[in-house]
């Protein structure tokens, strides 16, 4: 029987990322994610929030700690993992579902201590094209804004490939 364990979530961090190092030297970062859903029941709009614990490993974990903070919007691609343990106090079995992120895409940038913009893409999404500010600001409809320049959006794998000959930007 075939199986698939794949999760896509887009939401905001509920707390600052917590970065640790395992005894073997691997970096692991954990944070909470709030995913909102709006729906209508009997003509009345309602909001529902799902809170999910996220775990990120290696270089992506370090970048999450460096560039994300409580409230940051992210797109997560990952897999579900069931954690099970014995409760120390009650002696019963406990369990919890979490998402192990395989790819993290930052949807908003934060500046690090040296003033460099945060990467718009972490964890392996391929980005296409030459996204220099000058090339966008000199085009009609560019991203120039009265002297304030905003970085252009950086599409991930979710944008359809239009068959352009532009090369992938390695990350």
Q: Are 14 and 88 part of one and the same domain?
A: yes
Q: Are 107 and 142 part of one and the same domain?
A: no
Q: Are 100 and 27 part of one and the same domain?
A: yes
Residue 1 lies in a domain: no
User: Tens digits of per-residue pLDDT, 47-82?
Assistant: 999 999 999 999 999 999 999 999 999 999 999 999
Distance CA(165)–CA(171), nearest Å, equals: 19
User: Residue 77: which domain range?
Assistant: 7-111
Distance CA(14)–CA(39), nearest Å, equals: 22
User: Tens digits of per-residue pLDDT, 100-136?
Assistant: 999 999 997 555 544 444 444 444 443 333 333 333 3
Q: Check pLDDT > 60 for residue 24.
A: yes
Q: Are 98 and 143 part of one and the same domain?
A: no
116 vs 42 pLDDT, higher one: 42
Residue 121 lies in a domain: no
Residue 76: predicted pLDDT:
97
Q: What is the mean pLDDT of the chain?
A: 75
**What's 13's domain CATH number?**
2.40.50.140
Whole-prediction pTM: 0.62
Q: Please give the tally of structural domains in the chain.
A: 2
Q: Are 60 and 135 part of one and the same domain?
A: no
Residue (of 30, 25, 28, 170) closest to 96 by Cα position: 30
Q: Are 101 and 27 in contact (CB under 8 A)?
A: no
């Amino acid at each position: 029987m075939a199986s698939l364990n794949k999760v896509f979530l887009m939401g905001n961090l509920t707390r600052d990322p917590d970065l640790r190092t395992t005894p073997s030297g691997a970096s692991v970062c954990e944070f909470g994610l709030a995913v909102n859903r709006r729906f209508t029941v009997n003509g009345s709009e309602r909001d529902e929030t799902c809170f999910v614990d996220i775990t990120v490993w290696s270089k992506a974990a370090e970048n999450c700690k460096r560039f994300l903070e409580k409230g940051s919007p992210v797109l997560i691609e990952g897999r579900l993992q069931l954690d099970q343990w014995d409760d120390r106090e009650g002696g019963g079995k406990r369990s919890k579902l979490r998402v192990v992120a395989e790819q993290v895409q930052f949807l908003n940038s934060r500046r690090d201590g040296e003033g460099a913009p945060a990467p718009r893409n972490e964890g392996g999404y391929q980005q296409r094209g030459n996204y220099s500010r000058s090339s966008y600001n000199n085009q009609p409809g560019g991203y120039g804004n009265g002297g304030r320049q905003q970085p252009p959006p950086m599409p991930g794998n979710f944008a359809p490939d239009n068959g352009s000959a532009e090369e992938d930007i390695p990350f």
